[in-house]
């Protein structure tokens, strides 16, 4: 069971990384990051079968923090939307040099 | 006293300074929201926040004076933690002081901005205390979530929003890597406690265990993003340019220092038994960061971007101490953080003083002839640039900071001679952009059509003056302090003589 769970979470994590690197919509990038976090949660749960409850406690922390991060992140995305009427990163290029 | 962290009341007592800051920040948050937003209210919340920071510093001084230590547990009670805490709190005081003037200039009236800084600082103090990967994660997130908001504080500025978005997306991305690394290390060792990981990797001989090696690699990527090591540094210049200037100073000094403190502790306590599996990557990252940061900084026109690349270069210098990872390098690390924080705050203080509203007047060329109009500001800026460069005497503490890193690298059991040589060579390159600022200020004539500088606010003057005086005084004193500590080993001065403090040796044999 452990090997399968770890393989699945590694695949999910990789999909998340590829999504962050290839997509240009801020909301979709953020969803890919959440996918990466959930892949990590799966890893923790898989290990906690062998090592006890610490892994599960960690998952609760990760979910709480992800919720807080989502609140702040969506607020930031809204504030950029107010300026540009778009959340596409290709249009967001004031800072460079 | 020695805290037994398995007893809840003693755990609370060991965590009391952090709790004091968190609790105080909550109360201040209520107070900030109580009255309608106004310039005067913003200032009074700022002053109250500074008072809270000073209170926490006094509480920490009390713990240092008692010489507390702890049994192994989820948090550490040692000099490394307290010294790092004091650096963060001093940086926070500097940021709040600069923010009060900057907010007035930019028309930001939200008093909550100061409270957010306090909340971020409580995350940093948690990070410095963390001796369990779970606490490391919590500390990084408490800090980062508050700093994401701070980066986008200026809602009217499109650049600020853009910087905040970039910071948020890359910060969350790097957190995922950090977490995956923690999960794999947990899988390889069966624990998240740093001390236990340290003993298990040494006993079981895990240095070639694939899961552990991948976990360490993921942790390097995660921390690499947080402290802006090349090639994970792309976000830093954009975010530093977009954020309000005092927040940029906070990110360049305090946030970086906190992430490095956790990096250092995780590496020394958990992974010092498996040096072979991470030394190569860390070595190359240090070289890449020093070279890339310094070379790109040479071509920058905007002073905030220039300092962003310079902070990347400094991350490379600090990484040398992690690549060395001896007791002496821990001391050099802490000393460097102090020097770098002071110089960074001073430099950003001058930028705040000269910046006009709407983020104009930020190009290095705008400083031409500053010496003829504002001689004190120009002299102070020269001191900060020389301190960042590591110039003797006029650069004060900056010279000794670099000296001790090189010294610790050369005297390690496995001497890092090549790293020391690259550090010196890249520092010579950095003279190209630091001295350019000095040259522009002192030797170029003032432009005919240049806008007049605004009057410098009182708090800004305080930050610039205090930073310059501390840099110069500590630049003269370290020698005498070191000689004094060699004579009498029973008293360990806290800040000035950190090369003598052995954070990690305290960890292994508590007093």
CATH value at residue A6:
1.10.287.3510
User: Minimal Cα distance from B306: which residue of A?
Assistant: A97
* pLDDT of the residue at B274: 87
Please report residues of B whose CB lies closer than 8 A to that of A55: 183, 186
**H/E element, A78:** helix A54-84
Mutate to test the interface with A, among B116, B166, B169 (most CBs of A within 10 A): B169
Please report residues of A whose CB lies closer than 8 A to that of B134: 54, 57-58, 61
* B414 min Cα distance to partner chain A (Å): 36
B196 vs A: CB within 8 A: no
User: Minimal Cα distance from B301: which residue of A?
Assistant: A97
* B134 min Cα distance to partner chain A (Å): 7
B186 vs A: CB within 8 A: yes
Q: What is the ipTM of this complex?
A: 0.96
Q: Pick A95's closest partner by Cβ from B187, B238, B300.
A: B238
Task: Please say whether the dihedral angle defined by the alpha carbons of residues B301, B305, B308 and B312, taken in this order, is positive or negative.
Answer: negative
* pLDDT of the residue at A96: 59
A16 vs B: CB within 8 A: yes
Would residue B229 be called left, alpha or beta, if left means φ above 0 and alpha means ψ between -120 and 50 degrees?
beta
Residue A71 included in any domain: yes
Q: Are B352 and B98 in contact (CB under 8 A)?
A: yes
User: Using the beta-carbon criterion (under 8 Å), do A95 and B237 form an inter-chain contact?
Assistant: yes
Number of compact structural domains in chain A = 1
pTM metric for this prediction: 0.91
User: Using the beta-carbon criterion (under 8 Å), do B148 and A68 form an inter-chain contact?
Assistant: no
Mutate to test the interface with A, among B126, B172, B214, B248 (most CBs of A within 10 A): B172
Task: Please say whether the dihedral angle defined by the alpha carbons of residues B128, B174, B92 and B472, taken in this order, is positive or negative.
Answer: positive
Q: Are B41 and B478 in contact (CB under 8 A)?
A: no
Write out chain B's pLDDT in tens, 511 residues.
Answer: 788 888 899 999 999 999 999 999 999 999 999 989 899 999 999 999 999 999 999 999 898 888 788 888 889 888 888 888 999 999 999 999 999 999 988 888 888 999 999 999 999 999 999 999 999 999 999 999 999 999 999 888 888 999 999 999 999 999 999 999 999 999 999 999 998 998 888 887 777 788 999 999 999 999 999 999 989 999 999 999 999 999 999 999 999 999 999 999 999 889 988 888 899 999 999 999 999 999 999 999 999 999 999 999 999 999 999 998 877 778 788 888 888 999 999 999 999 999 887 667 788 988 988 999 999 999 999 999 999 999 988 888 889 889 888 988 998 888 899 999 999 999 999 999 999 999 999 999 888 777 788 888 899 999 999 999 988 988 887 765 454 333 332 223 233 333 333 333 333 333 3
Distance CA A42, CA A58 (A): 11
Residue A72 included in any domain: yes
Of the candidates B194, B346, B169, the one whose C-alpha atom is nearest the C-alpha of residue B262 is B194
**Half-sphere exposure of B87 toward its Cβ, with a 13 Å CA cutoff?**
35
User: Using the beta-carbon criterion (under 8 Å), do A47 and B187 form an inter-chain contact?
Assistant: yes
Cβ-based burial of A28 (10 A; exposed 0-12, middle 13-18, buried ≥19): middle
Helices and strands, number each (H, E), in chain A:
3, 0
* pLDDT of the residue at B359: 65
* A8 min Cα distance to partner chain B (Å): 13
Mapped onto helix, strand or coil, the DSSP state of residue B261 is helix
* pLDDT of the residue at A20: 93
A53 vs B: CB within 8 A: no
Residue A29 included in any domain: yes
Of the candidates B490, B509, B478, B493, the one whose C-alpha atom is nearest the C-alpha of residue B82 is B493
Of the candidates A24, A73, A76, A71, the one whose C-alpha atom is nearest the C-alpha of residue B162 is A76
The B residues from 138 to 177 touching A (CB cutoff 8 Å) are 138, 141, 145, 148-149, 152, 155, 158-159, 161-166, 168-169, 172-173, 175-176
* B375 min Cα distance to partner chain A (Å): 30
A84 vs B: CB within 8 A: yes
Interval A42-63: pLDDT, tens: 999 999 998 988 999 999 999 9
* pLDDT of the residue at B287: 96
* B60 min Cα distance to partner chain A (Å): 28
A15 vs B: CB within 8 A: no
Query: Phi and psi dihedrals of B283, rounded to 5?
Result: -60, -50
Please list, in sequence order, all residues whose beta carbon lies within 8 angstroms of the beta carbon of residue B136, skipping any fewer than 6 positions away: B127, B130, B182, B262, B266
Range of the domain at A35: 2-91
Give the total residue count for chain A: 97
Residue with tokens 């005919």: B448
Distance CA B162, CA B159 (A): 5
Residue A97 included in any domain: no
* pLDDT of the residue at B205: 72
Which whole number is the average pLDDT over A75-97? 81
B445: which DSSP letter? P
Residue A68 included in any domain: yes
- 3 state SS for B210-236: HHHHHHHHHHHHHHHHHHCCCCCCCHH
Residue A43 included in any domain: yes
Residue A96 included in any domain: no
Q: Are B450 and B368 in contact (CB under 8 A)?
A: yes
Distance CA A22, CA A29 (A): 9
Q: Pick A95's closest partner by Cβ from B162, B180, B184.
A: B162
Residue A44 included in any domain: yes
Taking one residue from A and the other from B, the number of pairs with CB-CB distance under 8 angstroms is 118
Distance CA B431, CA B438 (A): 10
Distance CA B214, CA A14 (A): 14
Please report residues of A whose CB lies closer than 8 A to that of B176: 13, 16, 33, 36-37, 40
Please report residues of B whose CB lies closer than 8 A to that of A44: 183, 186
Instruction: Report CA-CA distances (Å) from A97 to B120, B289, B303, B305.
Output: 29, 18, 12, 8
Of the candidates B473, B468, B478, the one whose C-alpha atom is nearest the C-alpha of residue B382 is B468
**Half-sphere exposure of B157 toward its Cβ, with a 13 Å CA cutoff?**
26
Residue A97, pLDDT above cutoff 60: no
Q: Are B259 and B127 in contact (CB under 8 A)?
A: yes
């Amino acid at each position: 069971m452990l090997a399968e769970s770890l393989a699945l979470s590694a695949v999910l994590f990789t999909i998340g990384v590829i999504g962050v690197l290839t997509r240009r919509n801020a909301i979709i990038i953020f969803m890919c990051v959440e996918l990466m976090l959930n892949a990590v949660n799966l890893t923790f749960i898989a290990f906690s079968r062998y090592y006890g409850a610490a892994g599960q406690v960690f998952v609760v922390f990760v979910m709480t923090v992800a919720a807080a991060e989502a609140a702040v992140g969506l607020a930031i995305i809204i504030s950029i939307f107010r300026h540009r009427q778009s959340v596409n990163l290709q249009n967001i290029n004031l800072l460079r040099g | 006293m020695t805290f037994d962290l398995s007893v809840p009341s003693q755990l609370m007592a060991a965590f009391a300074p952090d709790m004091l800051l968190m609790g105080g920040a909550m109360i201040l948050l209520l107070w900030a929201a109580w009255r309608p937003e106004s310039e005067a209210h913003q200032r009074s919340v700022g002053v109250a926040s500074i008072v809270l920071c000073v209170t926490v510093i006094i509480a920490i001084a009390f713990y240092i004076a008692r010489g507390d230590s702890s049994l192994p547990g989820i948090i550490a009670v040692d000099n490394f933690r307290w010294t790092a805490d004091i650096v963060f709190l001093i940086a926070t005081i500097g940021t709040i002081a600069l923010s009060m003037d900057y907010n007035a200039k930019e028309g930001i009236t939200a008093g909550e901005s100061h409270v957010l800084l306090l909340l971020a600082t409580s995350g940093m103090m948690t990070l410095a205390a963390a001796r369990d990967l779970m606490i490391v994660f919590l500390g990084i997130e408490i800090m980062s979530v508050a700093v994401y908001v701070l980066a986008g504080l200026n809602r009217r500025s499109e650049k600020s929003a853009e910087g905040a978005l970039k910071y948020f997306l890359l910060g969350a991305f790097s957190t995922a890597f950090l977490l995956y690394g923690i999960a794999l290390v947990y899988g390889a060792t069966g624990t998240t406690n740093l001390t236990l990981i340290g003993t298990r990797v040494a006993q079981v001989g895990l240095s070639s265990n694939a899961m552990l090696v991948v976990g360490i690699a993921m942790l390097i990527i995660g921390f690499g993003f947080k402290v802006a090591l090349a090639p994970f540094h792309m976000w830093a210049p954009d975010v530093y340019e977009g954020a309000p200037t005092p927040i940029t100073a906070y990110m360049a000094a305090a946030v970086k220092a906190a992430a490095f403190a956790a990096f250092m502790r995780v590496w020394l306590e958990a992974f010092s038994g498996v040096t072979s599996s991470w030394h190569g990557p860390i070595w190359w990252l240090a070289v890449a960061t020093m070279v890339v940061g310094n070379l790109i900084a040479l071509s920058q026109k905007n002073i905030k971007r220039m300092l962003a690349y310079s902070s990347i270069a400094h991350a490379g210098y600090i990484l040398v101490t992690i690549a060395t990872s001896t007791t002496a390098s821990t001391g050099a690390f802490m000393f460097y953080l102090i020097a770098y924080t002071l110089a960074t705050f001073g430099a950003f203080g001058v930028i705040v003083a000269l910046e006009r509203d709407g983020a104009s007047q930020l190009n290095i060329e705008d400083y031409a002839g500053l010496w003829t109009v504002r001689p004190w500001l120009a002299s102070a800026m020269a001191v900060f640039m020389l301190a960042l460069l590591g110039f003797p005497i006029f650069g004060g503490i900056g010279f000794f900071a670099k000296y001790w890193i090189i010294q610790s690298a050369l005297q390690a059991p496995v001497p890092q001679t090549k790293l020391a040589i690259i550090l010196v060579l890249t520092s010579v390159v950095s003279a190209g952009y630091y001295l350019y600022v000095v040259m522009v200020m002192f030797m170029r004539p003032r432009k005919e059509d240049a806008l007049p500088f605004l009057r410098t606010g009182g708090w800004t003057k305080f930050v610039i003056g205090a930073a310059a005086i501390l840099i110069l005084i500590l630049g003269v004193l370290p020698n005498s302090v070191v000689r004094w500590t060699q004579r009498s080993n029973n008293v360990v001065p806290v800040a000035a003589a950190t090369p003598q403090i052995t954070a990690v040796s305290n960890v292994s044999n508590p007093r």
